[in-house]
């Protein structure tokens, strides 16, 4: 039973750490252990490390740590790319070493030895395409083309100049401090790709996420079929019912079969759990970005809208308090105690209306086609067509 409990604890700890690290900052986890673990992993542990290094090695040691941080987090570097190659290569190697001996099996055919390899190769190809393709670099030569393709909405985007590149800044673009370039339709800088995700490589990024979700799901299901085949081939159910007198029902057989699998095929169980967890995380990440694509919004614009709406709410509250003769700080206190619920609901409706006036959202079909066929690559293309009607 020790092995089984070890597997359960390992799976729960892995799931908790991964969810906390990736999603702990989400509002739904506010005030929960997931938020605390996220803070410790992203800030707390690093702060303690700096203090420890400063105590042991002094300022020189701290400077070394800060230099490493600058290289790893604020400059283009291939560290996460190397880690990705190491992860996908090592996982595939362990699966091939531990599970391919059972292929073909009762429920899985010989062809899966080859389809699994081809699936991994396709994943690496999509990774390379996303990593090394141009995200849509804006320069003095093509800036007029991007300005024509993406007009200013005068809400979160207005005419201005990039202070670093010294060129006009097209709407939806952003200067990436890590890559030191302006990127059209900037979404985010992806450390795993060592590249920005922008107008010209969002399609590859989406394909990468979707394919790796399918790849992990395929691996988890394939290992599940292998294990089910071993149970069938070794007649485990027959042995348990005939020789051990176990009642032939799922309720009685399932715990004993799982116990036997965990003790005999613990490597395959660990791999299956790992792949299942990663596939769920990739599914959530892909669904989030798919929603952005369908509404023609970027991650960068999500934060911009959030800041804009927050500012509008504060201005609205300040005006309301001024008109009522109540200091803004006092009104904010009352709102916190739920005394201004009507005003809050009104502000939320107004904020929602602001979000829905996204002039770049022209309907799901046009939005997706803009991802697959970027506007700047089309002749005489502009986003000035009528936005999607409400």
Element (H, E) at 137: strand 137-138
Residue 46 phi, psi (nearest 5): -65, -40
CB atoms within 10 A of CB 284: 14
Tell me which residue has tokens 């020790």: 2
Instruction: Identify the three-state secondary structure at position 179.
Output: coil
190, 196, 216, 293: the active-site residue: 190
**Sheet containing 174-176: order of strands:** 137-138, 181-183, 174-176
Q: Environment class of residue 154 by beta-carbon count within 10 Å: exposed (0-12), middle (13-18) or buried (19+)?
A: exposed
Q: Environment class of residue 251 by beta-carbon count within 10 Å: exposed (0-12), middle (13-18) or buried (19+)?
A: exposed
Task: Identify the CA nearest to 41 among candidates 16, 12, 7, 72.
Answer: 16
Task: Identify the CA nearest to 91 among candidates 272, 261, 285.
Answer: 272
Sequence-ordered list of residues with C-beta below 8 angstroms from that of 111, at least 6 positions apart, any chain = none
Residue 190 annotated among the catalytic residues of the structure: yes
Kindly compute the dihedral angle of the four CA atoms of residues 293, 297, 298, 303, in this order, to the nearest 10 degrees.
-140
Which amino acids are annotated catalytic? Answer: 190
């Amino acid at each position: 039973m020790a092995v089984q409990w070890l597997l359960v604890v390992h799976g729960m700890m892995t799931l908790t750490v991964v969810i906390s690290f990736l999603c702990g900052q989400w509002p739904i986890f506010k005030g929960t252990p997931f938020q605390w673990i996220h803070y410790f992993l992203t800030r707390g542990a690093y702060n303690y490390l700096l203090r420890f290094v400063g105590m042991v090695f002094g300022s020189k040691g701290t400077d070394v740590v800060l230099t490493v941080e600058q290289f790893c987090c604020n400059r283009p570097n291939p560290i996460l790319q190397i880690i990705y190659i190491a992860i996908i290569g090592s996982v595939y190697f362990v699966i091939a070493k531990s599970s391919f001996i059972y292929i073909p099996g009762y429920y899985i055919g010989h062809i899966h030895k080859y389809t699994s390899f081809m699936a991994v190769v396709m994943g690496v190809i999509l990774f390379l395409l996303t990593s090394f393709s141009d995200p849509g670099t804006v320069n003095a030569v093509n800036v007029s083309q991007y300005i024509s393709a993406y007009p200013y909405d005068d809400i979160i985007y207005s005419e201005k100049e990039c202070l670093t590149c010294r060129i006009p800044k097209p709407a939806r673009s952003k200067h990436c401090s890590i890559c030191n370039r302006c990127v059209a339709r900037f979404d985010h800088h992806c450390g795993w790709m060592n590249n920005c995700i922008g107008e010209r490589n969002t399609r590859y990024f989406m394909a990468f996420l979707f394919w790796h979700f399918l790849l992990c799901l395929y691996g988890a299901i394939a290992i599940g079929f292998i294990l089910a085949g071993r149970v069938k081939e070794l007649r485990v159910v027959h042995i348990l019912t005939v020789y051990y007198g176990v009642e032939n029902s799922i309720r009685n057989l399932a715990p004993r079969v799982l116990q036997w699998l965990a003790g005999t095929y613990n490597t395959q169980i660990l791999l299956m759990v790992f792949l299942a967890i990663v596939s769920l995380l990739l599914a959530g990440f892909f669904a989030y970005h798919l929603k952005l694509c369908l509404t023609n919004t970027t991650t960068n614009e999500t934060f911009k809208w959030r800041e804009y709406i927050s500012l509008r709410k504060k201005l609205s509250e300040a005006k309301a308090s001024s008109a009522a003769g109540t200091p803004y700080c006092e009104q904010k206190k009352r709102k916190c105690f739920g005394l201004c619920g009507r005003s809050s609901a009104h502000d939320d409706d107004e904020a929602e209306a602001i979000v829905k006036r996204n002039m770049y959202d022209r309907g799901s079909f046009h939005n997706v086609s803009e991802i697959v066929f970027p506007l700047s690559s089309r002749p005489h293309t502009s986003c000035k067509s009528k936005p999607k009607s409400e």
